[in-house]
Amino acid sequence: MRLLLALVCLAGSASAQPRDVGWEVRIPEKIEVTLGEAGTLPISIAVDRGLVISKDAPVIVDIVATGGVTTRKPRLGRADAVDPEADAPRFAVPLKPTSAGEHPVKIRMRMWLCGGRSCRPLDVRRQATVVVNGQKPVEP
């Protein structure tokens, strides 16, 4: 009986996908910009009550924009955040489109999540697609 119960528990945990409780990185899957106009990629970190992103450890955001989109700084830190002193900082990454089309932007974030008396490192990877529309028509 115990063996059967153990096998059922193992089978259930193998099929269930692991989920991190307490935090989330929010990045839109797609953003649209117009060729010739600047765009912004918003990145936010949400943490549950009682948790914070450590202010004593670095927050590192690496941005890899491939063809068609550029950014001024490929690496951001907490000081570059919209709200650097917040428990969960937000970023507004300026983008400059250089050619029309759909262009992937890869983001890697490293930070420390703290709660109570302990902290643990987070290494988060996400991707957004920047859709660059043709040039804006010139008004007469």
Domain residue ranges of the chain, discontinuous segments joined by +: 21-128
User: What integer pLDDT is reported at residue 67 of this predicted model?
Assistant: 83
**How big is the chain, counted in residues?**
140
Beta bridge partners of 25: 45
pLDDT in tens, 64-115: 998 889 999 999 999 999 999 988 999 999 999 999 999 999 999 999 999 9
139 vs 61 pLDDT, higher one: 61
Question: What is the pTM for the complete model shown?
Answer: 0.77
Architecture of domain 21-128: Sandwich (2.60)
Give dist(CA 51, CA 115) in Å, integer.
Answer: 5
Q: Which residues are CB-contacts of 92 (< 8 A; sequence separation ≥ 6)?
A: 40, 41, 42, 43, 82
